[in-house]
Amino acid sequence: MAPTQQRPTLHEGGYHRYVTRSSAADVRKKAEHADARLRPFLARVGIPLLRISVGVVFLWFGLLKIFDVSPVSGLVAKTIYWFDPDLAVPALGAVEVFVGLCLLAGRLMRLALPLLVLQMAGTFLVLVLLPEVAFRDGNPLLLTVEGEFVIKNLVLFSAALVIGSRLAPLGQGGTGSA
């Protein structure tokens, strides 16, 4: 380790005071130590918190659809126009509640995650079937509020992939629980 350097500095009162300066190697060593302590904690809590967060979102949004108070019910009805919205929107909400409860409980993940991925894929239909609703002036770079709502689902889709990647393999005792 390099010896600590002391340099005089001028302060407000006009006097000099010696200030200890750490070398770049000392700072790097401290950062590596902090990183070594933080990473195991993040590895332990990151995926469960991600699973629970996505579960809360699905449970909440699903309940809003079931109780017909979701701000996106109209958008869902316009997007999947070939289904009766009075049946399709609450049914979609029930699927979302199921997925949310599975994620919160950490159970039936091998059933819940594919349903989540299918539901997320369905949300992207808005971009194809209703581009006038998703994009301003037909420009795919200028999203509307609805377009932003759809595009943010990329994060939920990716979260499902990460959660699924951490499930134990079926042949090695994996039951679909997280």
124-177 confidence digits (pLDDT tens): 999 999 999 999 998 999 999 999 999 999 999 999 999 999 888 876 655 556
Mean pLDDT of the chain: 87
Mean pLDDT across 33-62: 93
Alpha helices by DSSP H, listed for the chain, are 24-66, 73-79, 85-105, 109-123, 125-129, 131-134, 145-151, 153-165
Q: Which residues contact 39 (CB under 8 A, 6 or more apart)?
A: none
DSSP 18: E
pLDDT attached to residue 26: 82
pLDDT attached to residue 43: 86
- CA 76 – CA 125 distance, rounded (Å): 10
Tokens of 15: 């006097």
pLDDT attached to residue 161: 94
Mean pLDDT across 51-60: 97
Asked if 178 contacts 49 with a C-beta cutoff of 8 angstroms, the reply is no
- CA 2 – CA 14 distance, rounded (Å): 30
